[in-house]
Structure 1
Amino acid sequence: MKNAIITGATRGMGRAIAIAFAKEGLNLAICARNADELEGFKQELLQINPDIKVSVKVANVSVKSDVLAFAAQAEQELGAISVIVNNAGIYVPTSILDDEDNTFDKLISTNLMPAYEFYRYFGKKLIAAQQGHIFTICSSASVNPVVAAGTYSVTKFALLGLNKVMRLELQQYGVKVTAVIPGSTLTSSWDGVEVDSDKLIMPDDIASSIINAYRLSPGANVEEIIIKPVFGQL
């Protein structure tokens, strides 16, 4: 049985992805900042598939030591990790000139640093195993910057760049790397905003696209998955 680690797994896209991998029969390591929420989701995953193991850790993924402790616990409790989902991220809807003083550090630490540290931690182990799959949840802002979210766009550009470097460094060893580039998706980023859910991507759409890419034959890798709302971006 293979083992997957997912950041930001209790809500939105991360939650949907965790459920999809549980149904696929993978053991899971998940983290969040809220212990009760984390434990409740663990029990839900075990109800979905009683045959899997679920490792949970309270962690703030914007703190490097928490990221590394989460990675180490996942290995200790589950064994070798073969699927990595870099999902955690935050959205700040301000132009760069209107950012608070700590916005850049906050967004770099949350949107980019965990994926970079996971790669440093797991990369050579995946090479030694000659298999594995890294999924990085980027954003349409990774390709087309959003003026109203300037620093967010910068960090997502960097995240897509990291994903491309990872793919090039790992492809000769049979390790797959996929960038998931969603447009407007119904997550907590829209809390407090009136939106028509029929005009947004659903988290389950992201999860199903990841599972389909994961199921491909060993010689096939989906480099990028771009999903946009049928009516255009909101």
Structure 2
Amino acid sequence: MKNVLITGSTKGMGRSIAIAFANEGLNVAICSRNEKELLIFKDELEQIDPGVKVFAMKADGSNKTELLNFAAAAEAEFGFIDVVVNNLGTFIPSSILNDTDETFQTQLNTNLMPAYELYRFFGKKMASAKKGHFFNICSVAALNPVVQAGSYSVTKYALLGLTKVMRLEMQEHGVKVTAVIPGSTLTDSWKDAVVDPNTMVLPEDIASAVINIYRMSTGANVDEIIIKPAPGQL
């Protein structure tokens, strides 16, 4: 049985991706800062398929030490991690000149650092095994910057750049790397806004794309996939 590790896994896109991989029959490793939410979601995932193992660990993915402890514990529990989904992210709407002193570092630690560190942790193992798949959940802000979210755009640009470097380093080893680039998606980032769900991408849409890419033949890699609302960006 194969194993997937997902960051930012109890809400939004991460939650839907975790459910999709459990339905696919993979063992799932999840983490969250909120232990109560984490354990409730663990039970939910275990109900999907009794044969699927779920490893849940309280951890702050934006903290390097806690992130790597989670990665090591998941590997100790499952063995080889076949798929890593770097989904953890935060959206802070602010122009760069109006950022607080913490805004940039917070988004670096959440939107970029986890993908970099998990790549360093799992990349050589996947390369040696000649198999594996990294999914980095980016944003259309990595293609067209949002001036009302300047630092967010910068960190998502960096994440897309990291993804491209990862792909070039891994392709000779048969390890796949995919940038998933969502537009306006109905997640907690929109919790304070009044929006019509029919004008947005749903987390389940992102999960569906990830699973269908994962299912492709050994020789096929989706470098990037852009998923935007049918009526256009909000």
TM-score class normalised by the smaller sequence: over 0.9
Deviation at 1:61, TM superposition (A): 1.0
Check if 1:231 corresponds to 2:225. no
Over the aligned positions, Cα root-mean-square deviation in angstroms equals: 0.4
Aligned amino acid, residue 68 of structure 1: L
2:27 alignment counterpart: 27
What fraction of aligned residue pairs are identical, expressed as a percent? 63
Check if 1:106 corresponds to 2:106: yes
2:185 corresponding residue in structure 1 = 185
Q: Secondary structure at the match of 1:226?
A: strand
Report what 2:175 is aligned to.
Answer: 175
The CA distance in 2 between the partners of 1:49 and 1:184, in whole Å, is 31
Q: Name the structure 2 match of 1:123.
A: 123
Normalised to the residue count of structure 2, the TM-score between the two structures is 0.99
What is the CA–CA distance in structure 2 between the aligned matches of 1:192 and 1:161, rounded to whole Å? 30
Deviation at 1:148, TM superposition (A): 0.3
The 1-side partners of 2:11 and 2:217 are apart by 30
Q: What aligned pairs does 1:19-168 form with structure 2 within 5 A after superposition?
A: 19-168=19-168
Question: What SS does structure 1 have at the residue aligned with 2:9?
Answer: coil
User: How far apart, CA to CA, are the structure 2 residues paired with 1:192 and 1:114?
Assistant: 26
CA distance in structure 2 between the partners assigned to 1:78 and 1:110 by the alignment? 25
Counterpart of 2:19 in 1: which secondary structure? helix
Q: 1:203: how far off?
A: 0.3
Distance 1:228 1:50 in 2: 35
Give SS of 2:226's match.
strand
Q: Deviations over 1:134-181 (max 9, x none)?
A: 000000001100010000000000000000000000001100000000
Secondary structure at 1:56 match in 2: strand
Work out the CA distance in 1 between the residues paired with 2:36 and 2:188. Answer: 18
Gaps of 5+ in 2: none
Corresponding letter in the other structure for 1:176: K
Residue of structure 2 equivalent to 1:204:
204
> What secondary structure does 2:229 align onto?
coil
> Quick one: distance in 1 between partners of 2:98 and 2:50?
48
Deviations 1:87-145 (Å, cap 9, x if unpaired)? 00000011000000111110000000000000010000000110001000000001100
SS in 1 for 2:232: coil
Q: How many residues align?
A: 234
Cα distance per residue 1:168-200 (max 9 Å; x no partner): 000011000000000000000001110011000
TM-score, with normalisation over the residues of structure 1? Answer: 0.99
